[in-house]
Amino acid sequence: MRFDGKTHKRTASFLKIGELSGVPNPAQTPARVTIMKGSDLAKAAFDAAMADRETAKAAILTPLWDQHAAMREELTAIAVDDSLDADDQMATMKDIAGGHIDAAAIALGITIKAAAPYKTEAGVKFPKSDYAYTPGDKPSEWKLRLTSTPGGTPDPRIVGAAVAALGPGGFRGNKVQIPAEDLAAVKARVLAAWRKANSDKDADEAPDILTKEGSMPDLAKQLADAQAELAKQTALASMNDAQKAYFSTLKGAEADAFIAAAPATREALLATFKAADEVVSVGGVEVRKSAVGDAAFALIKKQAADLATAAEAQAVAKYATMAGSPEYAMLPGDATAKAMALRAMDALPKAERDALDTMLKSGATALKARTLPAGHPGNGGTESATGAEAELTALTEQHMSKNAGMTYARAQTEVLKTAAGQDLYARIEGGE
């Protein structure tokens, strides 16, 4: 009885009494308490009964009592052990009972056959014979059930699920894993179940996965593939970064040949590839066709060409402007030739370039002084030019009159570019 008014029926499986106290007038007179040490009483009764039996039978049956008593004592100890949960208690008690049963059977000289193992699926217990793959007596290892009822005949739906599980996609995405050495036997058993479950169908309607030769594992091919993969990984481990990058561009037979080649041969193949690989420089950075692919390389190459064209146009304009400047205008030759000469000069080392530039400018100054007519503004002379100089002056002034605003120096430069001007220049140089 609980003090909160609630009651629970309980059965005590073990009772230990430390003290008994009695009173002359109990509160509940009809109450009775009977205490009996069952072990001794039962043993006495058992012994009395055995005394009436034949001595030979008593020798066999007497040990059964000892087994029974020992079993009860051990089971009781487990039942009151609070350190074990219910499942562990039941499993331990089952093992203890089984051990005593086996001992009793030995004492009686009889053989007790263990119950056949079974696998529980959705609360139903299926025997070993209902599965296609049973490598041992452990139900957890059994796979591919073929029946819908325990010990029944193959069921078409269940067999169909087993066939699907053996296929590439598996049953509902789950492919069963069967050791290669057992796969042929498992498929044969599933095929036999399929034929039994589909007796209305012809043998040639059986699923290909069960009948076709290609469905069996090709162990030789698997071994060859594994060896090839091992060789590939070993070779990759021995390659440097450049060789690995080159290998990543290879396919099929070329890749296989590179893997099989000796290290020195791989390096030679890499060198040949680099020599043949198209390269374009963009902003001082080399871009290889093999690194970026055909399409990207074509685009980069076009952009580089466009940049080069633009840079060339800027250079031409720069040196053409220099050629027409007053510093170089007196130099002989047309504008294009002078621009090319100035560009070549600009490419020289600084010391040589500066020296040549000084020489050209000095020569242009001297030539200007010689070709400027006496008394012409800016020359400071008072004498009139004669001979070839006079003719050059006349042509220069004539050219200036035809081109309003043109300076004398510019007009004379343009005259000197003509055939008549070149002839006059040669006569002046000759001392005329």
Domain ranges of the chain: 39-108, 118-216, 220-276, 280-319, 324-429
Cα separation values, 388 from 334, 376, 424, 426, Å: 22, 16, 6, 9
The answer to whether the CB of 364 falls within 8 A of the CB of 331 is yes
Spatial CA neighbour of 187 closest among 125, 151, 223, 143: 143
pLDDT at 321 over 70: yes
The answer to whether the CB of 144 falls within 8 A of the CB of 186 is yes
Q: Which positions ≥6 away from 215 have C-beta within 8 Å?
A: 187, 208, 209
Phi, psi of 431 (to 5 degrees): 100, 10
Q: Convert the pLDDT of each residue in 127-166 to its tens digit.
A: 989 999 999 888 889 999 999 999 899 999 999 999 888 8
DSSP-derived 3-state class of residue 83: coil
Average pLDDT, integer, range 308-337 = 75
List the end-to-end C-alpha distance of the chain, in Å, as a whole number.
Answer: 153
DSSP-derived 3-state class of residue 304: helix
Q: Convert the pLDDT of each residue in 50-100 to its tens digit.
A: 666 555 566 666 667 777 777 788 888 887 777 778 777 887 887 787 777
∠ Cα 206 210 212 (to 5°): 90
The answer to whether the CB of 422 falls within 8 A of the CB of 416 is yes
Rounded distance between C-alpha atoms, residue 247 and residue 264, angstroms: 15
The predicted structure's pLDDT at residue 214 = 46
Q: Which positions ≥6 away from 127 have C-beta within 8 Å?
A: 116, 117, 118, 150, 151
Q: Which of 68-77, 300-309, 316-325, 379-388 has the lowest mean pLDDT?
A: 379-388
The predicted structure's pLDDT at residue 309 = 79
Q: What does the DSSP assignment read for 34-64?
A: ----HHHHHHHHHHHHHHTS-HHHHHHHHHH
Q: Which positions ≥6 away from 149 have C-beta within 8 Å?
A: 124, 155
Q: Convert the pLDDT of each residue in 353-383 to its tens digit.
A: 777 777 776 666 665 555 555 444 444 444 4
- Which helix (H) or strand (E) segment holds residue 288: the answer is strand 285-288
DSSP code of 15? -
In the block, residue with structure tokens 């294009």? 336
Average pLDDT, the chain: 76
The predicted structure's pLDDT at residue 40 = 60
Q: Which position has the higher pLDDT, 169 or 52?
A: 169
Instruction: For the chain, give the percent of residues with pLDDT over 70.
Output: 70
Rounded distance between C-alpha atoms, residue 61 and residue 57, angstroms: 6
Rounded distance between C-alpha atoms, residue 358 and residue 352, angstroms: 10
Q: Of 20-24, 36-40, 178-182, 379-383, where does the model show the most confidence?
A: 178-182
DSSP code of 379? T
Cα separation values, 94 from 66, 103, 130, 170, 232, Å: 18, 14, 27, 39, 57
Q: Which positions ≥6 away from 372 have C-beta within 8 Å?
A: 378, 379, 381, 408, 412
- Which helix (H) or strand (E) segment holds residue 121: the answer is strand 118-121
Q: What does the radius of gyration of the chain's CA atoms come to, in whole angstroms?
A: 57
Average pLDDT, integer, range 181-201 = 88
Rounded distance between C-alpha atoms, residue 189 and residue 183, angstroms: 10
The predicted structure's pLDDT at residue 366 = 61
Q: Which positions ≥6 away from 412 have C-beta within 8 Å?
A: 371, 372, 392, 396
Instruction: For the chain, give the percent of residues with pLDDT over 90.
Output: 6
The answer to whether the CB of 156 falls within 8 A of the CB of 198 is yes
Q: What is the pTM of this model?
A: 0.31
Rounded distance between C-alpha atoms, residue 123 and residue 146, angstroms: 17
